[in-house]
A and B are shown apart, each in its own frame.
Chain A
Amino acid sequence: MHKKFKVYLSESFDPKFNLSIEEWLMDCSEPDEVILFLWQNENTIVIGRNQNPYKECDVKKLKEDDVCLIRRLSGGGAVYHDLGNLNFTFISSDNNYDVENNLKVIIDAIDKFGIKSCFNGRNDLLANERKFSGNAFISDKGKSCHHGTLLMDVDLDKLSRYLTVSPLKLQSKGIESVLSRVVNLKEICPQMTIESLKTALITSFNEFYNTETKIIILNENGIDVAKYVEKYNSWEWNYSESPDFSIVLENKFDWGIFEINLELSDGKITNCKIFTDSIELEDFKILEKSLINVQFKRSEILSIIEKYIKNGKIKQGLSNFISDKIHM
Chain B
Amino acid sequence: MKYDLIIEKFSGHDTSGKIGKINKKAGDSLNSGDTIFSIESGKGTIKYTSQYKGVLEQLSITEGDIVKKGQVVGTVEGELFKETEVVKAKPAYSFGLAKPVQKSYEVDVAVVGGGPGGYVAAIRAAQGGKKVLIIEENRLGGTCLNYGCIPTKALVSSIDALEKIRRSESFGIEVGDVKFSLEKIMNRKNEVVNTLVSGIEHLMNAHEIEYLNGKAEVKDSETLTVKNKSIDATIKFQKLIIATGSKTAILPIEGASSEDILTSQDLLKLTEVPSSLTIIGGGVIGMEFAFIYNSLGTKVNVVEFFPQILNNMDADVAEVIRTSAIEKGINIFESAKASTIKSALDGTKIVEINENNESKYIISEKVAVAVGRKANLESLDLTKLGVELNERRNGIMVNASMRTSNPNVYAIGDITNKIQLAHIASHQGIVAADNINGIENEMCYDLIPSAIFTMPEVAHVGLNEKDAGAQNIDYLIGKFPLMANGKAQAMGETEGFVKLIANRETRKIIGGTIVGVHATDMLSTISNIIASDLTIDKAAHVIYAHPTTAESIHEALLNIDGRGIHFA
Q: How far is the CB of A177 from chain B (nearest CB, A)?
A: 13
Task: Contact check, A75 vs B20: say whether CB atoms are below 8 A apart.
Answer: yes
- Neighbouring B residues of A139 by C-beta, 8 Å: 11, 44-46
Which of B73-81, B91-99, B392-400, B424-432 faces chain A?
B91-99
Q: How far is the CB of A246 from chain B (nearest CB, A)?
A: 12
Task: Contact check, A75 vs B44: say whether CB atoms are below 8 A apart.
Answer: yes
Task: Contact check, A243 vs B45: say whether CB atoms are below 8 A apart.
Answer: no
Does A114 reach chain B (CB closer than 8 Å)?
A: no
How many Å lie between the Cα of A141 and that of B51 in the bound state?
12
- Known contacts being A28-B93, A49-B40, A217-B230, is A223 close to B98, with CB within 8 Å? yes
Does B62 reach chain A (CB closer than 8 Å)?
A: yes
- Known contacts being A50-B40, A139-B11, is A74 close to B45, with CB within 8 Å? yes
Contact of A242 among B21, B38, B47, B62 (CB under 8 A): B21
Q: How far is the CB of B257 from chain A (nearest CB, A)?
A: 27
- Known contacts being A75-B44, A222-B99, A223-B97, is A175 close to B20, with CB within 8 Å? yes
Does B568 reach chain A (CB closer than 8 Å)?
A: no
How many Å lie between the Cα of A272 and that of B44 in the bound state?
35
- Known contacts being A74-B44, A223-B98, A244-B63, is A24 close to B20, with CB within 8 Å? no
Contact bitstring A149-160, B, C-beta under 8 A = 1, else 0: 000000000000
Which B residues, 39 to 92, have Cβ-Cβ distances below 8 Å to chain A? Answer: 40, 42-47, 62-64, 89, 91-92
Which A residues, 121 to 164, have Cβ-Cβ distances below 8 Å to chain B? Answer: 122-123, 136-141, 144, 146
Task: Contact check, B21 vs A221: say whether CB atoms are below 8 A apart.
Answer: no
Does A218 reach chain B (CB closer than 8 Å)?
A: yes
- Total inter-chain residue pairs, C-beta < 8 Å: 107
Task: Contact check, B20 vs A50: say whether CB atoms are below 8 A apart.
Answer: yes
Q: How far is the CB of A264 from chain B (nearest CB, A)?
A: 12
Which A residues, 48 to 76, have Cβ-Cβ distances below 8 Å to chain B? Answer: 48-50, 73-76
Task: Contact check, A140 vs B47: say whether CB atoms are below 8 A apart.
Answer: yes
How many Å lie between the Cα of A49 and that of B40 in the bound state?
9
In the complex, the chain A residue whose C-beta lies closest to that of B25 is A265
Does B438 reach chain A (CB closer than 8 Å)?
A: no
- Neighbouring A residues of B98 by C-beta, 8 Å: 8, 216-218, 222-223
Task: Contact check, B63 vs A174: say whether CB atoms are below 8 A apart.
Answer: yes
Does B100 reach chain A (CB closer than 8 Å)?
A: yes
- Neighbouring B residues of A219 by C-beta, 8 Å: 229-230
User: On chain A, which size bracket covers the interface?
Assistant: 35 or more
Task: Contact check, B229 vs A241: say whether CB atoms are below 8 A apart.
Answer: no
Task: Contact check, A50 vs B93: say whether CB atoms are below 8 A apart.
Answer: no
Does B101 reach chain A (CB closer than 8 Å)?
A: yes
Most chain A CB atoms below 10 A, which of B20, B89, B99: B20
Task: Contact check, B44 vs A221: say whether CB atoms are below 8 A apart.
Answer: no
Contact of A49 among B20, B89, B95 (CB under 8 A): B20
Task: Contact check, B101 vs A222: say whether CB atoms are below 8 A apart.
Answer: yes
In the complex, the chain B residue whose C-beta lies closest to that of A8 is B98
Does A225 reach chain B (CB closer than 8 Å)?
A: yes
Task: Contact check, A137 vs B45: say whether CB atoms are below 8 A apart.
Answer: yes
Which A residues, 109 to 124, have Cβ-Cβ distances below 8 Å to chain B? Answer: 122-123
Does A224 reach chain B (CB closer than 8 Å)?
A: yes
Task: Contact check, B231 vs A137: say whether CB atoms are below 8 A apart.
Answer: no
Q: How far is the CB of A71 from chain B (nearest CB, A)?
A: 10
- Neighbouring A residues of B91 by C-beta, 8 Å: 27-28
Does A227 reach chain B (CB closer than 8 Å)?
A: yes
Task: Contact check, A136 vs B231: say whether CB atoms are below 8 A apart.
Answer: no
Does B18 reach chain A (CB closer than 8 Å)?
A: yes
- Neighbouring A residues of B95 by C-beta, 8 Å: 28-29, 216
Task: Contact check, A138 vs B45: say whether CB atoms are below 8 A apart.
Answer: yes
- Neighbouring B residues of A244 by C-beta, 8 Å: 62-63
Does A99 reach chain B (CB closer than 8 Å)?
A: yes
Q: How far is the CB of A29 from chain B (nearest CB, A)?
A: 8
- Known contacts being A75-B45, A217-B229, A222-B100, is A24 close to B93, with CB within 8 Å? yes
Task: Contact check, B44 vs A243: say whether CB atoms are below 8 A apart.
Answer: no
Does A306 reach chain B (CB closer than 8 Å)?
A: no
Contact of B18 among A29, A141, A175 (CB under 8 A): A175
Contact of A140 among B20, B21, B42, B46 (CB under 8 A): B46
Task: Contact check, A122 vs B230: say whether CB atoms are below 8 A apart.
Answer: no
Q: How far is the CB of A199 from chain B (nearest CB, A)?
A: 17
Task: Contact check, A138 vs B44: say whether CB atoms are below 8 A apart.
Answer: yes
Most chain A CB atoms below 10 A, which of B44, B46, B95: B44
Contact of A221 among B45, B92, B101 (CB under 8 A): B101
- Neighbouring A residues of B22 by C-beta, 8 Å: 243
Does A173 reach chain B (CB closer than 8 Å)?
A: yes
- Neighbouring A residues of B92 by C-beta, 8 Å: 24, 27-28, 227
How many Å lie between the Cα of A318 and that of B222 in the bound state?
67
Task: Contact check, B42 vs A122: say whether CB atoms are below 8 A apart.
Answer: yes
How many Å lie between the Cα of A242 and that of B91 in the bound state?
28
How many Å lie between the Cα of A146 and that of B98 in the bound state?
22
Q: How far is the CB of B25 from chain A (nearest CB, A)?
A: 9
Task: Contact check, A222 vs B44: say whether CB atoms are below 8 A apart.
Answer: no
In the complex, the chain A residue whose C-beta lies closest to that of B95 is A28
Does A11 reach chain B (CB closer than 8 Å)?
A: yes
Does B176 reach chain A (CB closer than 8 Å)?
A: no
- Neighbouring A residues of B18 by C-beta, 8 Å: 50, 175
Task: Contact check, B64 vs A243: say whether CB atoms are below 8 A apart.
Answer: yes
How many Å lie between the Cα of A13 and that of B364 in the bound state?
44
Q: How far is the CB of B161 from chain A (nearest CB, A)?
A: 28
In the complex, the chain A residue whose C-beta lies closest to that of B88 is A141
- Neighbouring B residues of A123 by C-beta, 8 Å: 42
In the complex, the chain B residue whose C-beta lies closest to that of A173 is B64
Q: How far is the CB of A244 from chain B (nearest CB, A)?
A: 6
- Neighbouring B residues of A27 by C-beta, 8 Å: 89, 91-92
How many Å lie between the Cα of A144 and that of B12 in the bound state?
10
Contact bitstring A212-244, B, C-beta under 8 A = 1, else 0: 000011110111110100000000000001111
- Neighbouring B residues of A222 by C-beta, 8 Å: 97-101, 229-231
Which B residues, 215 to 243, have Cβ-Cβ distances below 8 Å to chain A? Answer: 229-231
- Known contacts being A75-B20, A140-B47, is A175 close to B40, with CB within 8 Å? yes
Q: How far is the CB of B86 from chain A (nearest CB, A)?
A: 10
Task: Contact check, A243 vs B97: say whether CB atoms are below 8 A apart.
Answer: no
How many Å lie between the Cα of A219 and that of B230 in the bound state?
7
How many Å lie between the Cα of A123 and that of B229 in the bound state?
35
How many Å lie between the Cα of A76 and that of B93 in the bound state?
29
Contact of B38 among A50, A136, A173, A218 (CB under 8 A): A50
How many Å lie between the Cα of A27 and that of B62 in the bound state?
28
- Neighbouring B residues of A216 by C-beta, 8 Å: 95, 98
Task: Contact check, B40 vs A75: say whether CB atoms are below 8 A apart.
Answer: yes
- Known contacts being A75-B45, A222-B97, is A49 close to B229, with CB within 8 Å? no
Contact of A76 among B12, B40, B64 (CB under 8 A): B40
**Chain A positions near chain B (C-beta within 8 angstroms):** 8, 11, 24, 27-29, 48-50, 73-76, 99, 122-123, 136-141, 144, 146, 173-175, 216-219, 221-225, 227, 241-244
Q: List 9 A-B contacts (CB under 8 A).
A: A11-B229, A29-B95, A48-B40, A49-B45, A74-B44, A74-B45, A138-B45, A140-B47, A173-B63
